[in-house]
Amino acid sequence: MEPLTGSKRLKLALLLGTLAAMGPLSIDMYLPSFPTIVGAFDTTASFVQVSLTACLLGIGLGQLILGPMSDVRGRKKPLIIGLAVYFLASIACAFAPNIGFFIAARFLQGFAASAGIVISRAVVRDVYSGRELTKFFALLMLVNNLAPILAPVLGGGILAFTDWTGVFIVLSAIGLLLFSIVLWKMDETLPVQKRVPSNLSHTLKNFLSLLKNRQFMGYAFAQGFIMAGIFAYVAGTPFVYQNIYGVSPQMFSLLFGMNGLGLIIGTQIVGRLTGLVSEKRFLETGLFISISSGTLLLIAVLLNGPLITIVIPIFFFVASIGVISTSSFSLAMESQGHIAGSASALLGLLPFILGSITAPLVGIAGEWTAIPMGVIIFSASLIAVLAYFGLTRKGIEEN
């Protein structure tokens, strides 16, 4: 397929960016409604946070299945099926009769959303190469990074007019719109002659070789555990900000969106200064910021500090993710060109698996304390630092 230019290139970027944003939209849009969902199902904060865990697991596992499937079946068909399932799962979430059904529907919604995440990246690789690939990915990430900012703001706006079910009605409408666009407007980008046969044993061997690579796993765990801290923040702040500090759903959305700006700033700093500062220096600086902000946050929650002492450390912690995720991904992929697909899948899976563990732990002590969130974010940052310096140094010595 010939590379697209001009308005077609922009339209493709908007479509693929929106498809890739299905994950953040599914995760973040319903965050302001966490406290009301607790009341609606007469359940606990932990069970509502398990619904986030279910979505994260669905997104992580879905990428491992739907990504390789798109290499075998082409991009369009798995994407259409994923969007159809996403529409139905979102409707199921909106009309769930109990918390158990809601959790199951959230898993299915996350699994279906992963089609947009993993296949959108594959489409970019089909259409572009070399410098054009890098430029288009930058444009794609600009669109995609807006999702964590806009999603909770949109969710808070919806709650001003209706209840939490309205959030999932809107998500179902987004899924139906994307389904229609992909079905009628998007061309298949992977020709039949370029598709690969399914080979499970070969894929498993690639994953095993990556798991044995200390340097790769050092970078992967550094990114994975920091992202686990982010998911603890995502699951914890709706209760901490609204229940403990009494902010409105709309104010929560603004605070959450402000942290999204920090994420973009961190990412852009790495992108603009890569030629002047090494990626390892960026990664180590990001890890220093994360452990420092995690320490300050833990102190603040233990001392029951005012809201500002929570907001500022969280802003810098989230901003550090932009630095860490960008630099660690590049370093991890640097020597994995021969198995780049497997490496990318593993890097994409780890954050969601680890995040699915930390998210429900945030509510283990109830919805009126911020201590579990502070402990988990600090611990995740500490483990990320230890994993990076421990595994990557041993990997260098072995090589």
Question: pLDDT band for position 358 (50/70/90)?
Answer: confident
**In terms of Cα–Cα distance, which of 22, 203, 84 is closest to 211?**
203
Residue of higher predicted confidence among 194 and 15:
15
Question: pLDDT band for position 317 (50/70/90)?
Answer: very high
CATH of the domain at 38: 1.20.1250.20
Question: Which tokens sit at 172?
Answer: 């179902």
In terms of domains, do 210 and 159 share one? Answer: no
Question: How many CB atoms lie under 10 A from the CB of residue 352?
Answer: 26
Residue with tokens 């920091």: 226
In terms of domains, do 93 and 169 share one? Answer: yes
Reported as a single tens digit per residue, the pLDDT across 168-193 is 999 999 999 999 999 998 888 888 88
Q: Which contacts (CB < 8 Å, 24+ apart) does range 260-263 have?
A: 260/145, 260/146, 260/148, 260/149, 260/318, 261/149, 262/315, 262/316, 262/318, 262/319, 262/322, 263/145, 263/148, 263/318, 263/319, 263/321, 263/322
Number of domains forming the structure of the chain: 2
d(CA 10, CA 320): 29
**In terms of Cα–Cα distance, which of 187, 195, 251, 241 is closest to 362?**
241
Burial of 80 (0-12, 13-18, 19+ CB in 10 A): middle
**Region 322-343 average pLDDT:** 70
Q: Tell whether the model's pLDDT for residue 326 goes beyond 60.
A: yes
Q: Position 290: which residue type?
A: S
User: Of 135-149, 158-172, 189-203, which gets the smallest average pLDDT?
Assistant: 135-149
Question: pLDDT band for position 45 (50/70/90)?
Answer: confident
**Region 357-365 average pLDDT:** 81
In terms of domains, do 75 and 128 share one? Answer: yes
d(CA 386, CA 108): 34
DSSP state of 199: -
Q: Tell whether the model's pLDDT for residue 144 goes beyond 70.
A: no
pLDDT of 111 reads 96
In terms of domains, do 236 and 360 share one? Answer: yes
**Region 32-59 average pLDDT:** 89
Q: Which of 128, 163, 198 is the last residue of a domain?
A: 198
Cα–Cα distances in angstroms (integers) from residue 143 to residues 33, 56, 153, 188, 262, in the given order: 25, 21, 16, 22, 15
Q: Which of 149, 173, 198 is the last residue of a domain?
A: 198
In terms of domains, do 186 and 216 share one? Answer: no
Question: Which tokens sit at 18?
Answer: 């929106």
Q: Which of 174, 198, 222 is the last residue of a domain?
A: 198
Q: Tell whether the model's pLDDT for residue 227 goes beyond 80.
A: yes
Residue with tokens 């790769």: 216
Cα–Cα distances in angstroms (integers) from residue 257 to residues 29, 189, 247, 267, 323, in the given order: 11, 34, 14, 16, 18
**Region 221-246 average pLDDT:** 90
Helix (H, G, I), strand (E, B) or coil at 376: helix
d(CA 273, CA 270): 5
Reported as a single tens digit per residue, the pLDDT across 193-219 is 877 676 677 777 777 888 889 998 999
DSSP state of 26: H
pLDDT of 54 reads 93
pLDDT of 333 reads 67
Question: pLDDT band for position 141 (50/70/90)?
Answer: low
Residue with tokens 């995720």: 325
In terms of domains, do 183 and 207 share one? Answer: no
Q: Tell whether the model's pLDDT for residue 360 goes beyond 90.
A: no
Question: pLDDT band for position 140 (50/70/90)?
Answer: low
In terms of domains, do 186 and 210 share one? Answer: no
pLDDT of 341 reads 56
Percent of the chain with pLDDT over 70: 87
Question: Following DSSP, what letter does each residue of 132-195 receive, concatenated?
Answer: HHHHHHHHHHHHHHTHHHHHHHHHHHHHTTS-THHHHHHHHHHHHHHHHHHHHHPPP-S-GGG-
In terms of domains, do 269 and 296 share one? Answer: yes
Residue of higher predicted confidence among 215 and 140:
215
**In terms of Cα–Cα distance, which of 44, 30, 267, 69 is closest to 158?**
30
d(CA 23, CA 55): 9
Q: Tell whether the model's pLDDT for residue 351 goes beyond 90.
A: no
In terms of domains, do 111 and 210 share one? Answer: no
Q: Position 198: which residue type?
A: S
d(CA 210, CA 200): 16
In terms of domains, do 77 and 22 share one? Answer: yes
pLDDT of 131 reads 55
Reported as a single tens digit per residue, the pLDDT across 124-136 is 777 776 556 555 6
Helix (H, G, I), strand (E, B) or coil at 365: coil
Question: Following DSSP, what letter does each residue of 89-125 receive, concatenated?
Answer: HHHHHHT-SSHHHHHHHHHHHHHHHHHHHHHHHHHHH
Q: Tell whether the model's pLDDT for residue 372 goes beyond 70.
A: yes
State the chain's mean pLDDT as an integer: 85
Burial of 327 (0-12, 13-18, 19+ CB in 10 A): buried
pLDDT of 398 reads 54
**Region 274-285 average pLDDT:** 84
d(CA 233, CA 236): 5
pLDDT of 198 reads 67
Q: Tell whether the model's pLDDT for residue 344 goes beyond 70.
A: no
pTM summary value: 0.74
pLDDT of 4 reads 56
Tell me which residue range forms the domain holding 114.
1-198
CB 167 within 8 A of CB 159: yes
Question: How many CB atoms lie under 10 A from the CB of residue 191?
Answer: 10
In terms of domains, do 60 and 162 share one? Answer: yes
In terms of domains, do 160 and 119 share one? Answer: yes
